[in-house]
Copies of this chain bind each other. A is one copy, B any other.
Amino acid sequence: MSSDNEYNTPRPRRVTAQIVAEAAGVSRSSVSRAFTPGAYLDADKRKKIHEVAAQMGYQPNALAAGLKDGRSHLVAVFVGNMRSAYDTEFVMALVGQLNPLNKWPILIDGGDQSAEKAIQQVLRYPLDALILRGGSMQAEVVTHCSKIGVPMISAGRVVEAQGVDNVCCRNAEGTRIATRVLIEKGRKKFGYIGGPEAFSSSSGRRAGLLDSLAEAGLSLVAETDGDFTVDAGHRAATRLLTTHSLDALICANDATAIGALTAARDLGVSVPETLSVVGFDDIEMAGWPTFDLSTVCNPIDEAVEHVIQLLEKRLKNPLKASETILIKPHFVPRGTH
């Protein structure tokens, strides 16, 4: 780590309320009041102050304000893997909803190897909250957060801990529904391409598949694990399709499914005539004409909305009991099943 004292030229300091006060010929308190909506201040004086402030480029220092009331309006957003399209879309939706609440997201990429260190450092700020989107988080960090009173909201993975709220998709139900649709279409020889074993979403989705197969008296013909990427999906599907005779391929997420789709084409297996391919998440790309992927929708807008609601509730009442909201997925029929 580089030394912090290597700055030779000091930065010209920011304009402060004191400076504005002197320039406008009023007291510093009045400047502060001019920027505080509810405060008593003569209308003319307020206008004058705003003019001077605008000219000098003054805005109240959010850091100092936060120091006073213990609320920084900063929210750390920990993203499991920004390289995944689902996570990216999720973050975009989340950031869009955070802004109107006056909350500003500090982004931490869980895919980066220094993520743990990064999160430790970011926790030195008095965060209003820590939002987790997927990924894995050391238990140590969770307990640390609850110890220092930073609320956590986890999306996509249920974290059982005090003061942690959760929003999660009913993963098993998603694949259960999709599998039923395929069985009704007459599919019998199912393969599964999962994600990393450590991810609860992956195991949940697999469980739903097994449920529906059992229900119909079928069993899983072949399976293998990937890492949620297109590349891994391609490799895994190539392996499965060349070693087994399959008529349906359930994938743990859309990226995997897109890789599998490409692999099928490369092998000359026609989709959906002889093989059904189904993904999970319904990322934007799944709807592109090239792929036209049948998938299970893991609704982002709904999830984000719940996250925001939980955040607001938690901020209003920091001591409230933890909540877990489960979201119902639905099947999106397109051209690959």
Contact = CB atoms under 8 A, between A and B. Distances in A.
Interface in A140-166: 144, 147-149
Interface string A89-124: 001100110011110111111011010011001111
A12 interface: yes
Contacts of A107: 77, 91, 95, 105-107
B125 A111 contact: no
A8 interface: yes
A187 to B, nearest CB: 24
A1 to B, nearest CB: 7
A272 interface: no
Contacts of A70: 11, 13-14
Nearest to A5: B38
A125 B230 CA distance: 39
A266 interface: yes
A59 to B, nearest CB: 5
B14 A149 contact: yes
Contacts of A4: 102
B6 A316 contact: yes
- Give the number of times this chain occurs in the complex, counting copies: 2
A121 B104 contact: yes
B88 A82 contact: yes
Contacts of A67: 61, 63-64, 67
B289 A262 contact: yes
A25 interface: no
A18 to B, nearest CB: 14
A243 interface: no
Contacts of A111: 92
A106 to B, nearest CB: 5
A72 B148 CA distance: 21
B1 A102 contact: yes
Contact of A104 (B61, B71, B122, B319): B122
A66 B14 CA distance: 13
Contacts of A176: none
Interface of A: 1-2, 4, 6-9, 11-15, 56-64, 66-67, 70-72, 74, 77, 82-83, 88, 91-92, 95-96, 99-102, 104-109, 111-112, 114, 117-118, 121-126, 144, 147-149, 230, 234, 258, 262, 265-266, 284, 288-290, 315-319
21 contacts: A9-B317, A9-B319, A11-B315, A11-B318, A13-B70, A58-B148, A61-B126, A77-B107, A82-B92, A91-B107, A95-B107, A96-B112, A99-B112, A99-B114, A99-B117, A100-B114, A104-B106, A105-B107, A262-B288, A265-B290, A290-B290
Q: Which 9 pairs from chain A and chain B are nearest by CB?
A: A57-B147, A62-B124, A11-B318, A57-B148, A62-B125, A107-B107, A99-B118, A262-B290, A96-B112
